[in-house]
Amino acid sequence: MSPKPGPLFHVPWRWMGGFKYMILAPFLARAVHAHLYGGDDVDAWSFHMVLLALLRFAHGNLWMAVSRWPYLIDRYRIEKKGINFDQVDRESHWDDAIILQALVITALREWLPGAHNLPLFSWQGLALILALHVGPVECLYYWCHRFMHTPFFYASYHCHHHASVQTEPSTAHVHTFLEQVGHALLLCLPVVGTWLLGGASIGALYVYWLACDFANAVGHCNFEFVPVWLLRALPFLKYLVHTPTYHSLHHSEPSSNYCLFMPVYDLLAGTVNPKTDHVHKEARKGPVEHPDFVFLAHGVNLQSFFHQPFLMPYGSTHPFKPTWTTFVLLILCLPLYAVLWFVCPVIIMDRKTLRRRKLQIWTVPRFGINYFIPFEKNSINRLIESAILDADKQGVKVLALGALNKNESLNGGGKLFLDRHPDLKVRIVHGNTLTAAIILREIRPDTREVFLTGSTSKLGRAISLYLALRGVRVLMLTPSRERFEAIRSELPEERQHLLVQVTQYSQASQCPVWIIGKGMMWWEQRHAPPGTHFHQFVVPPIAEVRRDCTYGKLAAMRLPDDVENLKFCELALPRGHIYACHAGGLVHLLEGWDYHEVGRIDVSRIDPTWDAAMRHGLRPMQ
C-alpha cells in the first residue's frame, strides 16, 4: 500500500469483503426474470454480464493455478525473489476490476445509442475492436502509464501495483480504484466504438475482454514460455506482443517497458529495456534448481487434496477448513482420484527459501485412510522409496518423512529404506525427536505424574523414558505386557518403578495431565478429572468435548522470520507454522548433522535437538 494514498485509492465496496460479489446479483436477478417472464432484456445482456464475469474469474484462477505449479514453471522462472503472505493478501482482491468493468460497460450501454439488441457475433465488429485496440487504446495506455510513473502519482497510487516485484497473474488486476476506473474506460473504448460505428456484437465483447485478460496474465505470470527460436524466426513478433520477460522487467526496473501489450510503442518512444533479450534468453535456459531439503507429506482426507497452491491458490494460503466448495469439488473430482491412484507420482507442492537453502514440500498422492489398508502398504512404500531415490539423485541433503510416511508398521520409521539403500547420500529423518521435545516442553516442570496413551509407539516410548529419567511417574495405557516390559527394561533399575502399566482409562481418574498419542472416543474423556490438560500427538486431534478441561494443539513450530517465499499454510496450521516433524528435518539440515534419524528415537538427542531448534530461530506454536 502507498505510504501516502491519494483520493480514490480504495474501491468503494471494500467494506463488503466477500459479499462484494452481491454487486452482480441484480444482473443475475434480471437475467432470471427475463428468462422466465420476458421483458426488455432482449439481447440477454444481464445474462452475458454474469457469464462473462464467471469466465473471467475462472480464467484468472486457472492462470494462478498454472503459475503455482512447480513442475511447469520452476525451470523458466524469471524473477526468483519469491512472494509472501503480504503480497497474497494484497492481491486477493484482484477480481474487483472484473466487477467494476461490468458496471462501467453496463452504464455506458444505458447512456449511448446503438448498444441494445446486439447480435451474438459479428466479424466486422471484431475487426473494428482490434483496430481500435492497436491504435487508440495502446497509445493512450502507454502515455497514461508513463504519467502514473511521475513522482506524485507513483507515490500516491501506482506504487501499489509495483509492490509486487515477483508478479503473479493476479497482479495484472491489482490497482487502486482510480487506476481501475481508467483501465475500465480504456477496455470499454473499443467496444463503445463498435456501438457508435456499427458492427457491435455480444461475442466480440467476450473475445476482446478474455483476450485482454489472457495477455495481462501472460505479462505477469513470471515464467517464460515463449521459445527464443520463435522470436528469431519471426523477429517482428516481439514488437507486436509482449512476453512474460518483457513486462517482468518493468516490475524490477520500472523506468522501462511501459506498454500494455504491444512493445512497438516502447520502441517508438525509446523506452525498451536493453536487457530484455538477454533476460529472455537466460530465463529460457532454465537450469533446474534442486532443493537442499524436502519434507515428504501426504493427504489427510479427500477434501484436503485441494489444499495445494496449484489447485486452490488462495485457499491454500489460509489454514485448511472443509467447506461446501471443497465438498462440491470432492464429488466432481472423484474420477480424478481414481486416475491419480494409478498414475500420479509424488507431487511438488510448495517451495520456500531459508538462509539460501532451498526447501520444498513433496506430497505422496495418498490419504490417511490408505495407510491402514493392508494391500496399499507396498505401493505406498514404493512411492516413498521413489521420492527418496529421486531426492538422492538431485543432491538433496535431508529428506524428512511426514506423518504416516514414517509409520512403524509401514517401514519401521524409515529404516526399511536405509536397509535397501545403505549408500544413500540424502539423510532420512523422521523428525520425531523434535516432536517429543515439543510435547515434553509443554509439561509443567513440577509435574509428578502423567497418563500416556499410545505409550508403546515410537513417540510414546521416548516420552515415557524421558519423563521417568527425570523422576516423573508415567501411567502407560497398553494391553501388551511384553511391549511395556521391553520399554521399562531400558531404564536403570532405580527408575523402572516409575513406569506403570494400566489397561483402563478409569485407572487415570486422579491424574490431571493426560498425553494423548492414540485416538480416543469422546466418552473416554469423562475419566479425566476436572482441570485436566490434554497434551496430544495424535492425528487427527481429539474432540474438545470437556468444558472443564483444556486441550493442547498438535506439536508445531513457528518458522524463523527470515524465511522467504512463504505463501502456503501447512494444512490446518496458522500461517508461518510447520508441523514438528517438518521442523525436525529442517533443524537436521541447518545443523549439518550427518546421521540418519530413523527407527527408534534416541532419548539422549531430545534436549540437543530442542536447543538447536531454538538456536536457529524456530519457536513453539503458542
What's the pLDDT at 42?
62
What's the pLDDT at 111?
87
Average pLDDT, the chain: 91
Q: Are residues 534 and 606 in the same domain?
A: no
Confidence of residue 1 (pLDDT cuts 50, 70, 90): low
Burial of 571 per CB tally in 10 Å (0-12, 13-18, 19+): middle
pLDDT tens string 536-554: 988 778 889 999 999 998 8
Count of CB atoms within 10 A of residue 313's CB?
25
Q: Are residues 462 and 341 in the same domain?
A: no
Q: What number is the average pLDDT over the span 68-87?
A: 87
Q: Are residues 523 and 575 in the same domain?
A: no
Look at residues 496, 530, 554 and tell me which one is the last residue of a structural domain: 554
Contacts of 423 (CB under 8 A, 6+ apart): none
Q: What number is the average pLDDT over the span 353-372?
A: 91
550 residue type, one letter: T
Q: Are residues 466 and 537 in the same domain?
A: yes
User: Where would I find the H helices in 270-395?
Assistant: 276-285, 324-332, 334-343, 377-394
User: Where would I find the H helices in 333-431?
Assistant: 334-343, 377-394, 408-411, 415-420
Within-domain flag for 271: yes
The Cβ-side half-sphere exposure at 249, using a 13 Å CA radius, reads 23
* Domain containing residue 356: 293-429+569-620
Say how many domains are in the chain.
Answer: 3
Q: Are residues 336 and 226 in the same domain?
A: no
What's the pLDDT at 3?
65
pLDDT tens string 4-28: 788 999 999 988 988 999 999 999 9
Name the pTM for this structure. 0.88
Q: Is the pLDDT of residue 114 over 80?
A: no
Nearest C-alpha neighbor of 502 from the set 535, 455, 549? 455
Q: Are residues 370 and 501 in the same domain?
A: no
What's the pLDDT at 40?
66
pLDDT tens string 492-501: 999 999 999 9
Q: What number is the average pLDDT over the span 105-114?
A: 86
Within-domain flag for 559: no
Q: Are residues 71 and 165 in the same domain?
A: yes
- 568 close to 350: Cβ distance less than 8 angstroms: yes
Q: Are residues 31 and 153 in the same domain?
A: yes
pLDDT tens string 281-292: 999 987 778 999
pLDDT tens string 140-187: 999 999 999 999 999 999 999 999 999 999 999 999 999 999 999 999
User: Where would I find the H helices in 364-445?
Assistant: 377-394, 408-411, 415-420, 432-442
pLDDT tens string 182-214: 999 999 999 999 988 888 899 999 999 999 999
Q: What percent of the chain has pLDDT over 70?
A: 97
pLDDT tens string 315-330: 889 998 877 777 777 7
Q: What number is the average pLDDT over the span 611-616?
A: 97
What's the pLDDT at 2?
58
What's the pLDDT at 554?
84
Q: Are residues 459 and 498 in the same domain?
A: yes
pLDDT tens string 553-589: 889 999 999 999 999 999 889 999 999 999 999 999 9
Confidence of residue 417 (pLDDT cuts 50, 70, 90): very high
170 residue type, one letter: S
Q: Is the pLDDT of residue 361 over 80?
A: yes
